[in-house]
A = this chain, B = another copy of it.
Amino acid sequence: MRMSELSRTSGVAVATIKYYLREGLLHEGERTSATQARYDQSHLARLGLVRALLGVGGLSIAAARNVLAELDHPAESVHDLLGSVTHQLLPDTREDLDLTAAKDLITKLGWWFDPDHGEQLRPLAAALAGMRSAGFDLSERELIDYGRAMHEVAVDEVARVPTESPAAAVRYVTLGIVLVEPLLLALRRLAQVDASANRFDKGQGAVSSA
């Protein structure tokens, strides 16, 4: 199909498709003349993926490019792959971040982590530092409970990673990180609404004025 049809079918504007081509997020079509190219189902599928990564996944163009490169050229070992994807998706955090509290928590949870990749602890360290800076301190018990809950989720997720090919595995892991994060957060908020309705029985939960 031509660019115009690709745009119509995908719902992505022609200017946006051209931008994705320039940024290397979408592979070139097959040239049919100096000014035209032909696109196929693979372009349509990739556009859906790019939109998901940039939209609900909340990635920058550069991060999306890294994730797509990972999808196109996956690592051989499923374990290395998890590490490399996690690394790609690490947010930029302050250089002077203290990893001690994060390391302590992981040790208390009894989780394995790669001592050569201490940077994997950075998002956790940043989250803990943010809470401390806001004066919002959770107890060790609460932190461990959060950890256990996420570990149950993670065990199910890792058990579902398909192993028939590196490409299938990396696709599952990458999209599982990027696209399931918004899902989890959305579910948590709605679960809070339900739990709040149960605890405070709507409206009757008025608390005494400060």
Contact = CB atoms under 8 A, between A and B. Distances in A.
A190 interface: yes
B210 A154 contact: no
Interface string A148-178: 0111111111111101111111000001110
Interface of A: 45, 48-49, 51-53, 55-57, 76-80, 82-83, 86, 106, 111-114, 120-121, 123-124, 126-131, 133-136, 138, 142-143, 145-147, 149-161, 163-169, 175-177, 179-210
Question: Sorted from nearest, which 5 A-B pairs have the closest CB atoms?
Answer: A56-B130, A52-B134, A165-B210, A154-B191, A111-B194
16 contacts: A51-B133, A52-B134, A56-B130, A76-B209, A77-B206, A79-B197, A82-B196, A106-B190, A111-B190, A120-B189, A121-B190, A127-B186, A128-B183, A130-B182, A136-B175, A157-B192
